[in-house]
Amino acid sequence: MNPKSKSVESDFSTVKRISPTQQVREQLTAAILSQKYKPGEMLPSERKLCEAFGVSRVCVREALASLEAMGMISIQHGRGAFVRTSIGDQFAPFGVYVDLHREELIDLLKIRGVLDGLAAEGASSPLGKADLTDILRSHKKFIDAASRGESPEKLVELDISFHRSIANAAGSTFLPGILKDLNQILEESRLIFFKREGRAEVSVKQHQTIVDAIVERDPEKANRAAVKHVQGIVDWITTVSSTILFTAN
């Protein structure tokens, strides 16, 4: 389809906030995901996008470069930018999700890290009488599933079960319910996480560190291990988004 036939001005709104590159990228992402610009179709020229967004050509070029890094478009020099017919880049699905939700995702994960730390601390308290049977059983199920190469969906289910077993052993009235609600919100991000190669094995090792501290009845070590486990996910998301997705900022 010839992009000249489209009403570009009606597709996008003028950028007025700080970080115009991010605003342009977000609007282009939304337009592609809603298929205003379909797979294989050429995006409007840089000049038309500059006019539609009310930004400089530099901002448009940076936004387009970011979308190309995400695997959403292909820039063909001398011809223009085309929506990819199939997104083959391994970071693309994760990139779209993070691009839309990264700030909220990181905030929620930080909260989860604090709560998981408190749960592990409570479960490992020398003064407590927590039954560790369920924790050890849940841990083994996750290890077995990871070694069998189970689906990401199954790994998410077992990962949540493992962390729930710790919360249940923490001796807190409120922690299990709060973490249950938080885990439901983060379920989609967990699924994307476990779709990445090697992530299940990383979780197995980090879960083992948490379990060891709980079995040793070392609250400080357990808290630290649980917080570090979730912080590793935050760091990974930040690294991916900054080096792969947001180099154009």
The most confident of the ranges 55-64, 71-80, 110-119 is 110-119
Rounded average pLDDT over 209-217: 96
74 plus 116 within the same structural domain: no
Rounded average pLDDT over 27-33: 84
Q: 83, 107, 125 — which closes off a domain? A: 83
Q: Name 74's bridge partners.
A: 82
What DSSP designation does 3 have?
G
41 plus 105 within the same structural domain: no
Cα–Cα dist 10/96, whole Å: 23
pLDDT tens per residue across span 215-236? 999 999 999 999 999 998 888 7
Rounded average pLDDT over 103-126: 92
Report residue 75: phi and psi, to 5°.
-95, 120
Cα–Cα dist 132/163, whole Å: 12
114 plus 209 within the same structural domain: yes
Q: How confident is the model at residue 91 (pLDDT cuts 50, 70, 90)?
A: very low
98 plus 77 within the same structural domain: no
Cα–Cα dist 27/22, whole Å: 9
The answer, as to whether pTM is greater than 0.85, is no
Beta 73-76 vs 80-83: how paired, if at all? antiparallel
- pLDDT score for 134: 95
> CATH number of the domain that 20 lies in?
1.10.10.10
105 plus 208 within the same structural domain: yes
> CATH number of the domain that 202 lies in?
1.20.120.530
For residue 37, the SS3 value is: coil
Domain total of the chain: 2
37 plus 59 within the same structural domain: yes
112 plus 75 within the same structural domain: no
For residue 181, the SS3 value is: helix
| Mean of all residue pLDDT scores within the chain | 84
**Residue of higher predicted confidence among 63 and 208:** 208
Cα–Cα dist 67/134, whole Å: 45
- pLDDT score for 80: 93
Rounded average pLDDT over 3-8: 58
Q: 28, 50, 83 — which closes off a domain? A: 83
- pLDDT score for 243: 41
The most confident of the ranges 70-74, 146-150, 196-200 is 146-150
Rounded average pLDDT over 78-89: 74
Instruction: Mark out the alpha helices in 54-186 (DSSP H runs).
Output: 57-70, 92-123, 133-148, 152-168, 175-185
Work out the angle between the directed axes of helices 175-185 and 152-168 (0-180°, nearest 10).
160
123 plus 76 within the same structural domain: no
- pLDDT score for 89: 43
pLDDT over 70 percentage in the chain: 81
Q: 83, 104, 122 — which closes off a domain? A: 83
For residue 156, the SS3 value is: helix
Q: Which helix (H) or strand (E) holds 80?
A: strand 80-83
Question: Do the beta carbons of residue 208 and residue 148 sit within 8 Å?
Answer: no
- pLDDT score for 221: 97
Domain limits for position 220: 92-245
Q: Which helix (H) or strand (E) holds 74?
A: strand 73-76
What DSSP designation does 91 have?
T
**Residue of higher predicted confidence among 102 and 220:** 220
175 plus 192 within the same structural domain: yes
207 plus 235 within the same structural domain: yes
